[in-house]
Amino acid sequence: MIIHLKENIDKVSANNIAKEVSGRLIFDEKKFIIITSSKNKEVPEKIREKIDESFIIDSDIQLSSRKYINKTRNIKINKIELGGSTKNTLMITGPCSIESKDQIEKCAELLKSNGLTTLRAGCFKPRTSPYSFQGLGLEGLKMLSDIRNKYGFNIISEVKDASHVDDVIEYTDIIQIGAKAMYDHGILRETGRQRKPVLLKRGFGSNLQEFVQAAEFILSEGNPNVMLCERGIRTFETKTRFTLDLCGVSFLKEHTNLPIILDTSHAMGYSYGVPDLTRACVAMGIDGLLIESHPNPSEAKSDASQQLNFDEFNKMFESLRPICNAVNRNLI
Ligand code: PEP
Ligand code: MN
C-alpha cells in the first residue's frame, strides 16, 4: 500500500506514522509518502485523518506500478528528457569498456557526428573470469569526465560492487547497475539515496517480478529516476548469448511506469544480429537503446564479438529513423 500523507505533516510525525505501519518513508517534492507491504489492504483507523490519498496495490511492484502513476515517469538527464510526454527514444552508445584516451575520443567523435548526447563505457567490469581485463577503474572514470567536459555529453558507466559506487555517482550522469549486480541491495539502496538517474539492468536469471522489485529498492529510498533495461535472459538456447525478452518488454510497458531501455548487444552477443534486433525493439515504441560500438571491435578488451564498428553503427542508426517516425517516436 502507498500512503500519501497530508502536506502539513512534519518529518517527526511522518516518521512516527511510518513506524506505526512498518512502512518506508520518502519525501516527494511537497509531501511524505509511506510504502508498506502490498499485503496491507486497509489504512489503519488511527492514521486515517493524517492521510491525503492511499493506493492499494496487489503486488510489491508498487511505486513503479501503473496503478500508482498511470504514465511513464519523466526523467531529466541534464539537457535531455525521457518518458513523460516526450516520446523520445534515446540512443546510448559507446564501447563495452573504456580502454584508452584515443579509443574513447574516437567513440566521442562517432556520437558527435550523429548528433548524439549520451556516451556509455564501462570502467569497473563484472567479468566472468578473474584473469580477463577488469576495466580501467577510477582512471577510466576520470577520462570519461574529461570527455564530458570537452563534448558536453551525458556519461553512463556501471557500478559492479559497493567499493566504487560513490565514484561512479560522482563521475557519471547516469549510473548503470549491471545484470550481475541487480540483486546487490547495497548498490540499489545507495543509488536510491541520491537523485541521479539509474539504469537498472535485468539479471539474466531473474523473472519480471524480481526485476521490477529490484527497481523498487531504488525508488523506495527516494530516487524517482529509474530506468529498466532488458538485456536478455538465459534460456536453453546456446546459439545466441542470451534471449531478448520482448514479451517481457510488453509486460513492462503495460504494467510499469518506468522508462524502458533495450540492450540488444548483450542479448545477441554477435554484432551480425544487433541491427535487426534493434529495429525490432524500436518498432515497439521504447524509451531508449544501449548499443555497444567500438572503433575496432575485434581488438576490444571485452565483448569483442558483439560491438558494432562505426560503419555498422552509422548504417543501423540511419535505418532507425523511419521506424521511429512510424511509431511516433523522436530518435535522439
Ligand atoms: C555492459 O553493459 O557492458 C555489461 C556488462 O552488461 P550486463 O550487466 O548486461 O552484462
Ligand atoms: Mn559489454
Strand-pair category, 330-331 with 88-94: parallel
Helix then strand then coil, in percent of the chain rounded to 5, is 35, 20, 40
Q: Which residues pair with 230 in a beta bridge?
A: 262
Topology of the domain comprising 75-331 = TIM Barrel (3.20.20)
At 204-255, the pLDDT tens digits run: 999 999 999 999 999 999 999 999 999 999 999 999 999 999 999 999 999 9
Q: Residue 291 and residue 264: Cα distance in Å, rounded?
A: 7
Q: What is the mean pLDDT of residues 60-71?
A: 98
How would you classify the pairing of strands 51-55 and 75-77?
unpaired
Minimal-distance CA residue to ligand 1 atom 8: 178
pLDDT at residue 105 tops 90: yes
pLDDT of residue 279: 98
Grid cell 492514521 is found at 47
Predicted confidence (pLDDT) per residue in 287-304, tens digit = 999 999 999 999 999 999
Average pLDDT over residues 8-17: 95
Asked whether residue 17 carries a pLDDT value surpassing 90, the answer given is: yes
Q: Any idea which residue has 535505418 for its cell?
A: 319
Query: Per-residue pLDDT tens for 143-162?
Result: 999 999 999 999 999 999 98
Q: Is the CB of 122 under 6 A from ligand 1?
A: yes
Q: What is the predicted pLDDT for the residue at 178?
A: 97
pLDDT tens-digit readout, 66-89: 999 999 999 999 999 999 999 999
68-89 as b/e: b if 16+ CB within 10 A: bbeebbebebeeebbbeebbbb
Work out the percent of the chain whose per-residue pLDDT is above 70.
100
d(CA 321, CA 313): 13
In angstroms, what is the span from residue 326 Cα to ligand 2's centroid? 30
Burial of 218 (0-12, 13-18, 19+ CB in 10 A): buried
Separation of alpha carbons 62 and 216, rounded Å: 7
The confidence band for 29, taking pLDDT boundaries of 50, 70 and 90, is confident
**Ligand 2 midpoint to CA 293 (Å):** 10
**Ligand 1 atom closest to residue 178's alpha carbon, by position in its atom list:** 8
Q: How far apart are CA 282 and CA 322, in angstroms?
A: 10
Contacts of 318 (CB under 8 A, 6+ apart): none
Pocket lining: 126 vs ligand 1, CB cutoff 6 Å: yes
Does the pLDDT at position 39 exceed 90? yes
Ligand 1 center–CA 258 separation, angstroms: 20
Beta-ladder partners of 227: 199
Q: What is the pLDDT of residues 304-323, one digit of tens each?
A: 999 999 999 999 999 999 99
Please give the average per-residue pLDDT across 48-76, as a whole number: 97
Question: Closest residue (by CA) to atom 1 of ligand 1?
Answer: 96
Ligand 1 atom nearest residue 125's Cα: 5
Alpha-carbon torsion (197, 312, 123, 78), positive or negative: negative
Choose among 115, 103, 110, 171: nearest CA to 141: 171
Categorize the per-residue pLDDT at 257 as very low, low, confident or very high, splitting at 50, 70 and 90. Answer: very high
User: Mean pLDDT, to the nearest integer, of 18-42?
Assistant: 94
Write down the number of H helices and E strands in the chain. 10, 15
**Ligand 1 and 241: CB distance under 6 A:** no
Mean pLDDT of 167-190: 97
Cα separation, 321 vs 332, whole angstroms: 10
Of the residues 92, 230, 231, 308, which should be mutated to test ligand 1's pocket, given the most ligand atoms within 8 Å of the CB?
231
The mean pLDDT of the chain is 97
Torsion angle of C-alpha atoms 227, 233, 239, 240, degrees rounded to 10 = 0
